[in-house]
Amino acid sequence: MKRRNRPGDDPGAATSTTPIATAESNRCSDNQIDLTLLGGPDADVWAALFDGRFRLAVPCSRCGRWLTAGASKSAGIGPHCAALEDR
């Protein structure tokens, strides 16, 4: 069964009367808007992500493999390479 529109309704017409903000009317950066929308307990994680301080993986300083564990990322070296350097 096909749905019918009411007379005078244009299915493609916008129905909102709220004005849309333009780029010129925004006084803050996109990052500030994103942080405002994504605020809360994880706001510091989002801030680090936007600032480029948060990385999911870093390369090992010895062999170049990608490290994802927090302790390995902090040390900059993986557990295998760290064991080899302790010898």
Residue range(s) defining the domain that contains residue 68: 30-86
Q: Is residue 11 part of a domain?
A: no
Distance CA 86, CA 70 (A): 20
Distance CA 34, CA 11 (A): 32
Distance CA 48, CA 44 (A): 6
Per-residue pLDDT of the chain (87 residues; tens, 9 = 90+): 566 656 555 655 555 555 555 555 556 666 666 666 667 777 787 778 778 777 789 999 999 999 999 899 999 999 999 999 887
Q: Is residue 75 part of a domain?
A: yes
How many domains in the chain? 1
Q: Is residue 76 part of a domain?
A: yes
pTM value is 0.42
